[in-house]
Amino acid sequence: MVRLGTGIGWRPEIADDIARLPGIDWVEVVAENICPDHVPDALRLLRERGTTVVPHGVSLGLGGAERPEPGRLRALAERAEALGSPLVTEHIAFVRAGGPLTASPSIEAGHLLPVPRTRDALDVLCENVRIAQDALPVPLAVENIAALISWPCEEMTEGQFLAELVERTGVRLLIDVANLHTNHVNRGEDPAKALDELPTSAIAYVHVAGGVEKDGVWHDSHAHPVTQPVLDVLAELCARTAPPGVLLERDEDFPAAGELAGELDAIRAVTAAGAAGAAEAGMATAGTAAGSAKPVTAAGAAEAATAARTGDEAPAPVRASAAADAPAPEAPLPDAPLPEAPVPDAVRERLALAQTALLSALVGGTPPPEGFDRRRLRVQSAALTAKRASVIAKVAPELPEILGTGYRPAFARYAEGRPMTGGYRRDALSFAEHLLADGRPGDSAARRRLTLWWQERSGPAPLPSHPAARFARRVRLALSGGR
């Protein structure tokens, strides 16, 4: 297993801060946000400095009923090769449903949804993972996700589900400790039990992220500081194994660089304490210097973490027990999995029907499937709409600029009963078309700006997009009373 160290999720908004943060061994990028032929300069400079870059996919839908799309697999492979990555990662989730297996239109979730922990779903997931492994040039690791809802009649715990997935495919695991905490709050699942059931030798690296609790539901927002309960789950993991890498995720509401550095230091302190504890346990087992070993305090662990970040010499008492920071012999992965028979079409069809019924209820307004908590379904539906609006705001930033504070309420009304079917850019155009067809926005200048935005991007013959043509249109718009 590749030793990665301490890393952070690379986002353009904090690229300059990441370049200056000390002790960043590696970064993770959202694969779909990177073009292999046009790697951002800031990311290219990090690579030239020797920083490892790992692409993290969000759109394969390995937990979906359909087989992974070859085009999406090729795109992920291209990014791994362009970035010189030692591995790629994805999620144990489904992100779309419908389609040929259900003889219904394909619909997109716009975010990650949980896979039922059933035999059918596991069989499909294992086959999809093997298809992906065969198509990728580097090893694949898959991530446990955060969930707001639970499937009825599940047959396995999360730990059992992941353990059998590893046994049958040899895939590696990306363990998100924030997601384990989320599922503890939302689904009553014990993180320690899940960690006990995991094959720790398969862990490729670990995610740590912040979230927030609202009305008794934990939202894995990636927009809030990392909380102590999440660090406690990280400590539980580090008490069982030394993870090859730990990464801080932050996707929105980015704080100052100093706050990011503080969160990274807190993560280093936990991993250092875990390494120190493992070293002391090893010395105690061997009976070496049992009477002279000094206890490792939280303060000592923090000093060790700071030393690792800055390169300074750590205090001697901690240094003696922090030898576990050095690469340890890797625990062996399970034997190569045996070949399996193809999953019968009937199994994929059953899973497809179940996932389509759920997703249709969440984004299309159809009746909820039997057995689900209806209140939680409403929470999940609202979360999907909010996520969809956030992504549209990044894909088409002119829309929230034109609509102002009315952007999110207007988008929520548009999204109700209108599933996304053609990707985010098509969704942005459809949203604008919906507003204009309804005579909105009410302000005439804003409506003219929205009309111009739509004309530049849609229609049988979109308006010319070169700078001179756009400048001329802006001048005409200003002269006509628009802005």
Digit-coded pLDDT (tens) for 124-139: 999 999 999 999 999 9
CA–CA separation, 197 vs 33, rounded Å? 34
* φ, ψ (nearest 5 deg) of residue 420: -80, 130
- Residue partners of 127: CB distance under 8 A and separation at least 6: 67, 340, 342, 343
Write the CB contacts of 285 (distance below 8 Å, at least 6 apart in sequence). Answer: none
User: Comparing C-alpha atoms, which of 5, 4, 3, 7 is closest to residue 264?
Assistant: 7
Digit-coded pLDDT (tens) for 426-465: 999 999 999 999 999 999 999 999 999 999 998 655 555 5
Question: Which residue from 238, 246, 249 is spatially nearest to 301, judged by alpha carbons?
Answer: 238
Q: Which two tokens stand for residue 404?
A: 């102002």
Mean pLDDT in residue range 269-296: 66
Answer yes or no: are the C-beta atoms of 266 and 231 closer than 8 Å.
yes
> How far apart are alpha carbons 374 and 144 in whole angstroms?
24
Q: Which residue has the higher pLDDT, 421 or 140?
A: 140
Which is nearest to 392 in space by CA: 372, 410, 365? Answer: 410
Could you tell me if 206 and 175 are in contact, meaning their C-beta atoms sit under 8 angstroms apart?
yes
**Listed residue (146, 169, 106) closest to 233, CA to CA:** 146
pLDDT of the residue at 337: 79
Q: Is the distance from CB of 52 to CB of 81 less than 8 angstroms?
A: no
Segment among 19-23, 110-114, 119-123, 306-310 with least mean pLDDT: 306-310
Residue 303 confidence (pLDDT): 52
What's the residue count for the chain? 483
Residue 1: Cβ within 10 Å count: 20
> What's the rounded Cα separation, in Å, for the pair 390 and 404?
14
**Structure tokens, 379:** 């929470």
Q: Are strands 140-143 and 172-176 parallel, antiparallel or unpaired?
A: parallel
Q: Are 170 and 139 in contact (CB under 8 A)?
A: no
Tell me the Ramachandran region of residue 98: left when phi exceeds 0, alpha when psi lies from -120 to 50, beta otherwise: left
- pLDDT one-digit tens code per residue, 297-312: 444 444 545 554 555 5
pLDDT at 282: 65
How much of the chain, in percent, has pLDDT values that exceed 70? 83
Tally DSSP H helices, then E strands, for the chain: 18, 12
Instruction: Provide, rounded to the nearest whole percent, the portion of the chain with pLDDT above 90.
Output: 77
Question: What is the rounded radius of gyration, in angstroms, for the C-alpha atoms of the chain?
Answer: 24
Of 204-208, 212-216, 415-419, the range with the highest mean pLDDT is: 204-208
Query: What b/e sequence results for 92-111 when a residue is b if at least 16 CB atoms lie within 10 Å of its CB, and e otherwise?
Result: bbbbbbbbebbeeebbbbbb
Q: Give 356-374 as a DSSP string.
A: HHHHHHHHS-PPPPTTS-H
How far apart CA 370 and CA 373 sit, in angstroms, is 9
Residue 174, token pair as written in the block? 């990306």
Counting Cα atoms < 13 Å in the Cβ hemisphere of 110 gives 28
Helix 177-187 with 228-240: angle, nearest 10 deg: 120
User: How far apart are alpha carbons 325 and 34 in whole angstroms?
Assistant: 32
- Report pLDDT for 59: 95
Q: How far apart are the first and last CA of the chain?
A: 56
Q: Which residues are bridge partners to 203 per DSSP?
A: 173
Name residue 52's beta-bridge partners: 26
Compute CA distances 140 → 74, 218, 259, 317, whole Å: 14, 28, 31, 39
CB 267 within 8 Å of CB 6: yes
Select from 124, 119, 117 the least CA-distant residue to 169. 124
Mean local confidence (pLDDT), 392-398: 95
35 contact partners, CB below 8 Å, separation of at least 6: none
Residue 296 vs residue 76, higher pLDDT: 76
Torsion of CA 82, 85, 86, 88, to 10 degrees: -100
Whole-number pLDDT of residue 338: 77
Checking DSSP bridges between strand 172-176 and strand 203-209, what pairing results, if any? parallel
